[in-house]
Amino acid sequence: MELPQQFKELGISEPILRALAAKGFVEPSPIQKQTIPLLLTGEKDVIGQAQTGTGKTAAFGIPILESVRPGESRNPRALILTPTRELCIQVADELNSIEGDNGLKIAPFYGGQYIGIQLGLLRSGIDVIVGTPGRVIDLIERGRLVLDEVQFMVLDEADEMLDMGFIEDIEKILSAIPEEKRMLMFSATMPKEIQEIAVKYMRPGYEIVRTAPAVCDTLTKQIYYEIPRESKLDVLTRLIDLEGDMYAMVFCRTREDVDDLAEALIAKGITVDAIHGDIVQTQRTRVISNFKAGKFKILIATDVAARGIDVNNLTHVINYSVPESVEPYIHRVGRTGRAGKTGIAITFVTPGERRRFAMIRKKVAVPIEKGTLPKGADVADAKKARLVETLQTLAESGDCACYYGFAAELMRIAHPAGIIAALLKLHYASTLDPEAYEELVRPEAPKERGSRRDKYDGEQREQGRASDFVRLEFAAGKADGFSVPELLELIHHRAGIRSVELGRIECGSDITIVNTTKTLAEKIMASMEPGDPEVRECAAGPRRDGRGGNRRGNDRRSIDGGFRRERRREAYQERRERAPRHNDDGSAPERRRDDFKGKKSFRRDERSSRRNDDGKKPFWEKFRKRKPSED
């Protein structure tokens, strides 16, 4: 086996060179070229900045494997901290695969794995620990993990650990490690918090290695689509159908969004799977393994859960939700377009996300093109082309010879074109018919700069002015103990409509507004049952109750003179009856100080008791998810 000569020139020993050759390593990456000699020959602490997928693990791992001698002590000589379980497992596997026959004991330590296994490893002796902050602190507090002999301390994906709030855990771990250790930090971005940690815990004269500015790879074509929230699922489905062989990761903002999107795509017959923080570790490991093996081609994930998932040959990265800042955008996009291959990064931008996405575009050094929404005819044509190619290949292979007789019999039943059309209809339903696809509604372009009032009204009207969309008004709000999750659960229970199919929801004090399509609005209104809140379609116009009122957050305006005015009138009449302004003889009633104590809460309690004086719970109680028992 020929040893990789360029790695040999960096001063790497032969056992590790053989392991690198077995893995197919030929040429070191820029971060490896700069970092490995620096760590092998010098004594300085190092900060390495490079994008995700550029070989940072080997950059700090090879010098550690060269420096640590097996069996010198039962306590670890190197500690590598990672933000997620997946990255912890991946780093440990990578180090075990390149350590050659040195005999080093390397293992991952993370939450979710049976702690007895990890305690056994510590008792038998361990050379290199790769761990998550929570589990490392747990083992330290148990007195089972002793860090007095640590020579190398590594923070991998340091920026992500800071974003996840691990700063206190990191400082607690660093305080338990000898000051003479070598400290290494590797990250895709370089926020000021990392520099503060370097000043506090690294030795003076530390080295900063930068391979490239923190921008997206030019091999990745970046596109964005401006679409209403209601159309995101339809657009994603069309893109998947259009590409055919898409191998992609789809990023959502929350765990609930991940679950909803996965269920919606599965319902459409698309094979996908999902990972997020609420999924148990064994299932997460199984999902990632199946995705890497190509058993399914679309993985839906949150940013945190996706950290550490190193998948080769991804064709697409899709931002189903715009990330909060440029750093996670760079991390997401950096997962495609690797190793000299091209990739595509797609971002869905709703009207409410325009401003945040504009800030990201300014900080990204490569152009992000505005894409044209795929038409139904484009999707149908792409499916037909793939079908023709598949049929030609199968016919030429001869594997379908056993069906020739039956095919000839079918041709005698009716005209060949009619038989084939019937087969297509039976198998593909209406997916090959361009007319079966609804026209996508495009959001209205933002208005030119004008007065603050015009800008506010324009932002408030953005999602309600398209002709195909309506607003539903539910006669229940925050004052009733009603919330958006409960409304979504009610709509799903009654009409079978998921949150990803709905638009913006505004929960005010007395009413709740849902933006959706006319078709879904009719379905929702028809599905409501006695005891559910009143619901009606209201005229599209400026929303005045997005977060409990007008711009200043008060609650003084009503929408279309709807339920709110009626309820306010009823409440006013009841207050007059309970506390009249004049006695029967015309004199003013005596008012005690206690009458005004807790006035606001009294009215709320009064309203709740008035609605539930029959002893029954409010309608949403039967849909609310029960929390598991404490015992």
Residue 631 in any domain: the answer is: no
The pair of structure tokens assigned to 163 is 């974003």
> What span, in angstroms and rounded, lies between the C-alpha atoms of 352 and 369?
19
State whether 104 and 204 are in the same domain: yes
Angle at 132 between CA 131 and CA 137, to 5 degrees: 95
Percent of the chain with pLDDT over 90: 21
Residue 600 in any domain: the answer is: no
Residue 337 in any domain: the answer is: yes
In the three-class reduction of DSSP (H, G, I as helix; E, B as strand; rest coil), residue 175 is classed as coil
Q: What angle in degrees, to the nearest 10, is found between the helix axes of 518-527 and 484-495?
A: 80
Please give the order of strands across the beta sheet that includes 535-538. Answer: 505-507, 512-517, 469-474, 535-538
Q: Tell me: the pLDDT tens digits for 25-44? A: 888 888 899 899 989 887 88
pLDDT for 444: 59
Q: pTM of whole model > 0.85? A: no
State whether 74 and 182 are in the same domain: yes
Nearest alpha carbon to residue 337 among 241, 247, 275, 276: 247
Bridge partners (DSSP) listed for residue 343: 220
- Which spans in 398-451 are helix H? 404-413, 416-428
| Domain end position, chosen among 536, 565, 594 | 565
Q: Tell me: the pLDDT tens digits for 454-504? A: 444 444 444 444 456 788 888 888 887 778 878 888 888 888 887 777 888
CA-based torsion, 617, 620, 623, 626: positive or negative? negative
State whether 48 and 116 are in the same domain: yes
State whether 498 and 461 are in the same domain: yes
State whether 199 and 263 are in the same domain: no
State whether 245 and 263 are in the same domain: yes
Nearest alpha carbon to residue 470 among 381, 403, 382, 560: 560
Residue 442 in any domain: the answer is: no
3-state class percentages of the chain: helix first, strand second, coil last, to nearest 5 = 45, 15, 40
pLDDT at 595 over 60: no
Residue 592 in any domain: the answer is: no
Range(s) of the domain holding residue 417: 377-436
Nearest alpha carbon to residue 436 among 375, 369, 498: 375
CATH number where 302 lies: 3.40.50.300
Q: Which among 42-51, 55-64, 204-213 has the top mean pLDDT?
A: 55-64
pLDDT for 266: 92
**Start-to-end C-alpha separation, the chain:** 61
| Domain end position, chosen among 182, 210, 238 | 210
Query: CB-side exposure of 478: number of CA atoms within 13 Å?
Result: 11
Number of CB atoms found within 10 A of residue 308's CB: 21
pLDDT for 461: 43
Percent of the chain with pLDDT over 70: 78
Q: How far is CA 444 from CA 37, 353, 454, in A?
A: 56, 14, 15
Bridge partners (DSSP) listed for residue 473: 513, 536
State whether 168 and 261 are in the same domain: no
Q: Tell me: the pLDDT tens digits for 305-361? A: 776 677 878 899 999 999 888 878 887 887 887 766 788 999 999 988 888 898 888
Q: Lowest mean pLDDT: which of 422-426, 514-518, 587-591, 609-613?
A: 609-613
Q: How many domains does the chain have?
A: 4
State whether 118 and 265 are in the same domain: no
State whether 541 and 415 are in the same domain: no
pLDDT band at 586, cuts 50/70/90? low
State whether 395 and 246 are in the same domain: no
The pair of structure tokens assigned to 549 is 């009122």
Higher pLDDT, 216 or 407: 407
State whether 65 and 98 are in the same domain: yes
The pair of structure tokens assigned to 516 is 């959706």
Residue 574 in any domain: the answer is: no
DSSP 86-140: HHHHHHHHHHHHHSTTS---EEEE-TTS-HHHHHHHHHH--SEEEE-HHHHHHHH
Q: Tell me the mean pLDDT in the region 179-192.
A: 84
The pair of structure tokens assigned to 533 is 């809140």
> Of all helices (H) and strands (E), which one includes residue 41?
helix 30-41
pLDDT for 225: 92
pLDDT band at 627, cuts 50/70/90? very low
Residue 215 in any domain: the answer is: no
| Domain end position, chosen among 210, 241, 256 | 210
Mean pLDDT of the chain: 78
pLDDT at 6 over 70: yes
Residue type, 379: V
pLDDT for 211: 74
State whether 195 and 73 are in the same domain: yes
CATH number where 484 lies: 3.30.70.2280
Higher pLDDT, 300 or 412: 300
Residue 594 in any domain: the answer is: no
